């Protein structure tokens, strides 16, 4: 079938701003790992769709705020992560767990706020939920329940698998030149690894694309009749996320460090969690380690990919663990660069007069997402 997404859905700034309002802001977004926020005053910062966000630990309680000082709009926390009180370095304004200024140096002599203005000083606060070791935030003023977006089964598998992560993490960021939707389309395409990753991932994992006749019929019906009302639209949204065993792989080659970690399960499978709209978690070695890809839309043709690497939980500390994480990063880099390279090539070829993509019957998931997405963008579905 022809994709319902027009070329401007990938290249147009006005379209990007509208999808940020109608789709991305109402949905729950991954922001970081709970193990990185275990200490009092630990924090992480991210920019989500142009909004700077800080998650801060206040004596064990995690809070999410807009990372902008109320005084002169300086970022309160400037590093991507660290351990530091929520205090602006510009003029020393310090904030409490409710987002109110707990300390304004020289307030009485220099600022002289009246009682009404002082009472209004409060950082913009965002909803926050933890799913196992994963921290999600919602930028909406009226966020939907987390279970409504993902469903109980998906939340359960995310929680169970993420609790297997070790607390030692290494990270990197790719500043890519493509639209964020190209990433999830690529991740939900089981046919491309045999070609694009023939010398890397496909050497150890066998992905078999197949046609599901019932799914084909369902997509055709959706293209003809629409999603079928609010309840059906929500069910489709939940179906866009899933995870667990994905594809069989060659028996995991034994590594010396394997004996030092508690393997997630005990099967030689490629584990894969796809969390709509922009999170991908995988274990490419049968549960000995995990990779998290967080795709952050920056503009219609720009996406930052923040990638986390960690092993399964250690049985005990071992001296080579930093080298193990570096090796995992280097091994994954070649696969990621193959994906980034082809997606940037696709982005460069897109223009206002491009023809829509022609999807095969094996691509029902991407076709279903595209049909649902267009109803959101046309105002037929309100999140």
Tell me: the pLDDT tens digits for 336-358? 999 999 999 999 999 999 999 99
Same domain, 57 and 198: no
Name the pTM for this structure: 0.95
Same domain, 195 and 330: yes
- For residue 59, what is the enclosing H or E element? none
Q: Is residue 252 pLDDT above 70, yes or no?
A: no
344 neighbors 303 (Cβ within 8 angstroms): no
Q: Which residues contact 77 (CB under 8 A, 6 or more apart)?
A: 43, 45, 54, 56, 67, 84, 86
Same domain, 16 and 50: no
Same domain, 71 and 206: no
pLDDT value of residue 228 = 87
Same domain, 216 and 363: yes
Backbone angles phi, psi at 361, to 5 degrees: -65, -20
Boundary residue ending a domain (143, 161, 177): 143
Same domain, 242 and 372: yes
State percent of the chain over pLDDT 70: 100
Q: Which residues contact 340 (CB under 8 A, 6 or more apart)?
A: 174, 176, 178, 305
Per residue in 195-208, pLDDT (tens digit) is 999 999 888 888 88
Same domain, 263 and 366: yes
Same domain, 373 and 258: yes
Residue 191 sits in a domain whose CATH number is 3.90.380.10
Q: Omega before 277 cis (within 30°)?
A: yes
118-130 average pLDDT score: 97
Same domain, 90 and 227: no
The three-state secondary structure class of 182 is helix
Count of structural domains, the chain: 2
Alpha-helical segments (H) within 151-306: 152-162, 180-187, 193-196, 213-225, 230-239
State percent of the chain over pLDDT 90: 92
* Domain carrying residue 2: 1-26+146-383
Tokens matching residue 136: 């999600």
């Amino acid at each position: 079938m022809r994709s319902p997404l027009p070329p401007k859905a990938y290249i147009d700034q006005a379209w990007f701003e509208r999808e940020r309002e109608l789709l991305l802001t109402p949905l729950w977004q991954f922001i970081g790992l709970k193990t990185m926020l275990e200490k009092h005053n630990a924090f992480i910062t991210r920019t989500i769709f142009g909004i700077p966000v800080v998650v801060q630990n206040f004596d064990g309680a995690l809070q999410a705020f807009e990372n902008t000082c109320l005084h002169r709009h300086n970022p309160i926390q400037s590093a991507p992560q660290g351990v530091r009180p929520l205090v602006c370095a510009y003029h020393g304004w310090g904030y409490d767990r409710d987002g109110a200024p707990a300390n304004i140096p020289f307030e009485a002599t220099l600022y002289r706020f009246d009682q009404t203005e002082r009472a209004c000083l409060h950082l913009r606060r965002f909803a926050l939920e933890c799913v196992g070791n994963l921290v999600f935030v919602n930028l909406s003023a009226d966020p939907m329940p987390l279970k409504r977006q993902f469903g109980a089964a998906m939340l359960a598998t995310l929680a169970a698998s993420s609790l297997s992560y070790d607390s030692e993490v290494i990270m990197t960021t790719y500043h890519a030149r493509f639209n964020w939707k190209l990433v999830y389309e690529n991740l939900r395409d089981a046919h491309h690894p045999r070609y694009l990753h023939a010398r890397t991932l496909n050497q150890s994992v066998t992905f078999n694309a197949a046609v599901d006749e019932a799914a084909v019929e369902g997509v055709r019906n959706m293209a003809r009749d629409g999603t079928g009302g609010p309840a059906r639209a929500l069910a489709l949204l939940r179906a866009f996320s899933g995870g667990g065993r994905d594809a069989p792989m060659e028996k995991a080659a034994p590594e010396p460090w394997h004996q030092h970690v508690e393997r997630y399960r005990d099967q030689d499978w490629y584990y894969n969690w796809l969390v709509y709209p922009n999170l991908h978690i995988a274990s490419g070695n049968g549960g000995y380690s995990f990779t998290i890809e967080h795709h952050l839309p920056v503009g219609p043709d720009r996406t930052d990919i923040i990638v986390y690497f960690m092993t399964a939980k250690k049985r005990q500390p071992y001296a080579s663990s930093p080298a193990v994480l570096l090796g995992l990063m280097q091994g994954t880099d070649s696969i990621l660069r193959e994906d980034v390279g082809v997606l940037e090539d696709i982005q460069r070829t897109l223009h206002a007069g491009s023809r829509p993509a022609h999807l095969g019957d094996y691509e029902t998931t991407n076709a279903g997402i595209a049909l649902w997405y267009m109803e959101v963008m046309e105002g037929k579905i309100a999140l």
